[in-house]
Structure 1
Amino acid sequence: MLEAKQHQGKFGEDYVRVLASAAGLIVIQGDLDADGVDLGFRATGRYGRTMSPTVEAQVKTWSRPSVSNGHLNFRGLNERQFNKLAGPDFTVPRFLFVICVPADKQAYAAMSTDGVLLRHLGYFVSLRAEEPIKDPDKKLKRLVRVPTANVLTAAALRRLTETQADW
């Protein structure tokens, strides 16, 4: 049996994989998360001037979300992790995906005659406009405000990927 944090993190990544599958995207996973990226997503074919557009994401899960003024107040990144997503200098656009999950692991998924329900919702944010932190400290957390309007759906993930040049 997985430890609680492992179980929660695996569910979050699998949640995003389901969305990518529903969107018709290819999921890319490196052999080691040494650069702040958990998963990549690629659309096949040409989109405007871009062939096989790709985006990358760090996937974080959160069982007790804090919401105010239309934003999640996410404090799950340390300064080093933040810097691996912040700023405009990435060849492939990067996003933070925050998957809000139930505190009770038994409630992650539910079956009904209509199908499977995955709980709760995922959100995305680009940190491209954020300034990387000089001399980041992995012991210090960095607040990231994630708009609750940025719900991560299959359609949203496909749009992020297909329009990656806009990011």
Structure 2
Amino acid sequence: MDINQQKEQFSNAYLQAVTSVAGYSLYKPAVDDDSVDWGIAATGIMGRIRAPRLELQLKSTSRDILNNKAIHYPLKPKNYNDLRMIDFVVPRILIVVLIPDNLADWVQQSEKELCLRYGGYWLSLRGMPETQNISTVTVTMSRDNQFTVAALQSIMQSICQGVQP
């Protein structure tokens, strides 16, 4: 497996860990032709919306894109334009998982813990302006938007109330 495939699998594992602890299930579309890598589903009635869902584009990088306040991630224009639309039934977000440069630093393990390093950040591009860029669109993600169990639960609760991220 090459390093990019390893990064993809690592980010999948991160997403699966956060989602399972939050109490939701994951589903994967058979084909990613609409910038949707994964979907998250809740069961039962949680609010105005029954069985809320969230779809996402999952990216990972070990590049130095983090500063004191934000993450600046270069996204392909197709992904940007697919994620910025406002008329989806199921809301969509972008998740970028930051991974250490050195493969040996990705996981720390002992008898007491398994630590996946570093972590993910999320951003809703809903309603962002159309771009004419042809190579990349750099999106800015606040460091406050860590993709954690609590953040995912909050996003899903908002969707239950009819509020899209």
Contact 1:8 1:105 in 2 (8 A): no
Provide the C-alpha distance between the structure 2 equivalents of 1:64 and 1:7, rounded to a whole number of angstroms.
15
| TM-score, normalisation: structure 2 | 0.92
Identify unmatched segments of 5+ residues in structure 2: none
Secondary structure in 2 matching 1:41: strand
Contact 1:82 1:142 in 2 (8 A): yes
Q: Counterparts in 2 of 1:75-90, with a 5 A limit?
A: 75=74, 77-90=75-88
After TM superposition, give the deviation of residue 84 of structure 1 in Å.
1.1
Q: Partner letter of residue 18 of structure 2?
A: L
Hey, what does 1:159 align to over in structure 2? Answer: 154
Hey, what does 2:100 align to over in structure 1? Answer: 102
Q: 1:88 to 1:69 in 2, by over 3 A?
A: farther
Secondary structure in 1 matching 2:26: strand
Q: 1:48 to 1:86 in 2, by over 3 A?
A: same
Hey, what does 2:139 align to over in structure 1? Answer: 144
Q: Counterparts in 2 of 1:40-119, with a 5 A limit?
A: 40-68=39-67, 70-75=69-74, 77-119=75-117
Provide the C-alpha distance between the structure 1 equivalents of 2:14 and 2:118, rounded to a whole number of angstroms.
10
Provide the C-alpha distance between the structure 2 equivalents of 1:15 and 1:46, rounded to a whole number of angstroms.
27
Identify unmatched segments of 5+ residues in structure 1: none
After TM superposition, give the deviation of residue 115 of structure 1 in Å.
1.4
After TM superposition, give the deviation of residue 133 of structure 1 in Å.
2.7
How many equivalent pairs are there? 162
1:127 corresponds to 2:125: yes
Query: Matched residues, percent identical?
Result: 30
Q: Partner letter of residue 12 of structure 2?
A: E
What is the aligned-residue RMSD (CA, Å)? 1.4
Runs of 4+ in 1 over 6 A off after TM superposition: none
> Which structure has greater strand proportion?
1
After TM superposition, give the deviation of residue 69 of structure 1 in Å.
5.6
1:33 corresponds to 2:29: no
Provide the C-alpha distance between the structure 1 equivalents of 2:67 and 2:40, rounded to a whole number of angstroms.
30
| TM-score, normalisation: structure 1 | 0.91
Provide the C-alpha distance between the structure 2 equivalents of 1:106 and 1:161, rounded to a whole number of angstroms.
34
Provide the C-alpha distance between the structure 2 equivalents of 1:40 and 1:65, rounded to a whole number of angstroms.
28
Residues 100-128 of structure 1 deviation map (CA, whole Å, 9 limit, x = unaligned):
00112222111123210000011000001
